[in-house]
Amino acid sequence: MKTAGGKACQRMFRAMMKEDFMSVTLSYDDNQRLLLDGIACDCGLTHQLPDRPIHVGRGLLARAGELISRYLPGTQAVLVADDKTWPLAGREVCEQLRQRGFKVDVCLIRRDGEMLPDETACGEVLLTMTDTTDFLISVGSGSLTDTTRIAAMRTGKPFAAVATAPSMDGYTSVVAPLLLRGSKIHRQAHSPDLILCDLDILRQAPMEMIAGGVGDVLGKYIAITDWRIGQEINDEAFCPLCAEMVIAAVDRVTEHIDAIISRSEAGIRLLTEALLLAGLTIMIIGHTRAVASVEHNIVHLWDMMQLARGRRQPPHGLAVGLSTLMIWPVYTLFAADNQLSFVDPDAVLAQRISHEQRAWQIMAAYGEEAGRMIIAENPDDFLTPDEQRRRIDRARERWPRLRDIIADLPPYETIINVQKKLQAPRLPQDLQIEPDQVSVSLRMGKDYRSRYSLFKLLDDCGLLETFLATLPWAKPTVG
């Protein structure tokens, strides 16, 4: 199958309530359950068909007790909420279940500031559970869902997710991004056994969280582009079906941004579906390659940098939207002129730094503890000279194909205009990211994971500094 470009993907959606992606059809049954039929792909990757119940519509909070009792086993639950989501939806869910005879233990996570998915929060959930707990319920968005997800995974319990904001794609994810002693980690988990997205609740979300959802979606353009680059350079396994599902959903968000900003039912449904569909690709192929790349890595590094300085980590989706905006010009510049033709592999290899120097750079950027974890988890990133030469040669040979891949991205102005309409951050200082943090993250964000990206290609070819020099916010720092 051929991966469709931006314009082709824009034609995949035919209506607001029923959409076709190649052979995949999205629709709803009479109970507002999302149906995704016709997943068929010959890419060679193992595909897990998403069969978990996901309900999207109005009035679903009033049916939470009914739906949870239908899909979750047992009668003893732990409900996880915070100071904001408890009055918004948590109390209602709890009361409905108790009226049905359920025993519900409430884990109310109280914080003076931001609630983080760290070892403290995870410990609170685990300690609220008892030997007789049958299942868990998260009432919230990213941090609460991920904290509940990992507790459910580690204890072998099912869980339900009651969404309170269209702010991220992780509701359907099988990966939990967490914090351990201030370091960002990712742990394999499982998706909720039930997801409820009441549009009446989601439409009440703060505009910052709605803008965050859009920002998280915009980053998928970079993620898919980098995945395709990884396929070209390293013969990486690639799923066109998942890629087209994601790009079509993102295109749809950019096309209907005004409806999202107005908080119309159709607009918030559209954003919610885009986030769910992106997350479903994680369930289908078992990893996040289709939805996260260097634009997310940069944000993870910002998170750790800010926490190390005793500051609040930037709101995730807003930060992803900003990082996407900041690195986009590197992609367009790469496609505009074949600078690879001037690369001398011998000269590049003569400038290679040692394994020890690179390890030191990673630990200096991420901190010693996180840096050592990154080094241990990504041994293939320490290339041999032969492997680096192979990548340089492949990149030079495949430049026309790489150019065409990047040409499938929408115009940069599209991303700028979306961010302007949302009044979302467009400069690092808008999220209190300091110049030294920007400089380090643009150079070292690529190293957070071993996944290939344009930034890694440029680094392999000795061109990263040349391209970063064109960005006004990428000036190197001394020290």
| For range 291-299, the mean pLDDT | 97
Task: Give the pLDDT of residue 190.
Answer: 87
pLDDT in tens, 418-439: 999 999 999 999 999 999 999 9
In this structure, whether the domain defined by 57-202 belongs to CATH 3.40.50.1970 is answered with yes
**SS3 at position 192:** coil
Instruction: Name the nearest CA neighbour of 136 among 168, 110, 97, 165.
Output: 97
β-sheet bridge partners, residue 138: 80, 161
Beta strands of 296-345 (E only): which ranges?
A: none
Task: Give the pLDDT of residue 474.
Answer: 78
Better pLDDT: 19 or 265: 265
Residue that has been written with the tokens 């040349």 in this structure: 466
Task: Give the pLDDT of residue 174.
Answer: 85
Q: Are strands 135-140 and 76-82 parallel, antiparallel or unpaired?
A: parallel
Whole-angstrom distance, CA of residue 310 vs CA of residue 371: 19
Task: Give the pLDDT of residue 321.
Answer: 98
**In the predicted model, is pLDDT for residue 282 greater than 70?**
yes
pLDDT grade, residue 5 (50/70/90)? very low
pLDDT in tens, 252-266: 999 999 999 999 999
Number of residues that this document lists for the chain: 479
Instruction: Name the nearest CA neighbour of 178 among 325, 309, 373, 358.
Output: 373
**In the predicted model, is pLDDT for residue 14 greater than 90?**
no
Beta strands of 166-257 (E only): which ranges?
A: 175-180, 183-188, 194-198
Mean of pLDDT over the chain: 92
Task: State the number of CA atoms in the 13 A half-sphere of 44 facing the CB.
Answer: 5
Domain spans of the chain?
Answer: 57-202, 294-468
Instruction: Name the nearest CA neighbour of 96 among 127, 130, 122, 72.
Output: 72
Task: Give the pLDDT of residue 477.
Answer: 57
**Count of Cβ atoms closer than 10 Å to residue 29 Cβ:** 9
Task: Give the pLDDT of residue 19.
Answer: 45
Q: What does DSSP assign to residue 33?
A: B
| For range 113-140, the mean pLDDT | 96
| For range 372-401, the mean pLDDT | 96
**In the predicted model, is pLDDT for residue 479 greater than 50?**
no
Whole-angstrom distance, CA of residue 71 vs CA of residue 58: 19
pLDDT in tens, 436-470: 999 999 999 999 999 999 999 999 999 999 999 99
Better pLDDT: 286 or 137: 137
**In the predicted model, is pLDDT for residue 382 greater than 90?**
yes
Whole-angstrom distance, CA of residue 224 vs CA of residue 239: 10
| Dihedral angle over CA of 366, 368, 371, 376, nearest 10 | -170
Task: Give the pLDDT of residue 283.
Answer: 86
Task: Give the pLDDT of residue 475.
Answer: 75
Q: What does DSSP assign to residue 87?
A: I
Residue 217, classified by CB atoms within 10 Å of its CB into exposed (0-12), middle (13-18) or buried (19+), is buried
Q: Dihedral sign for Cα 251, 225, 381, 362, please.
A: negative
pLDDT grade, residue 18 (50/70/90)? very low
Say if CB 268 and CB 203 are below 8 A apart. Answer: yes
Beta strands of 110-180 (E only): which ranges?
A: 135-140, 159-163, 175-180
pLDDT in tens, 161-175: 999 999 998 898 888
pLDDT in tens, 184-236: 888 989 899 999 999 999 999 999 999 999 999 999 999 999 999 999 999 99
In sequence order, what are the residues at sequence separation of 6 or more whose Cβ sits closer than 8 angstroms to the Cβ of residue 156?
none
Task: Give the pLDDT of residue 7.
Answer: 36
List the structure tokens of 291: 């939805």
**In the predicted model, is pLDDT for residue 8 greater than 90?**
no
Task: Give the pLDDT of residue 23.
Answer: 60
**SS3 at position 39:** coil
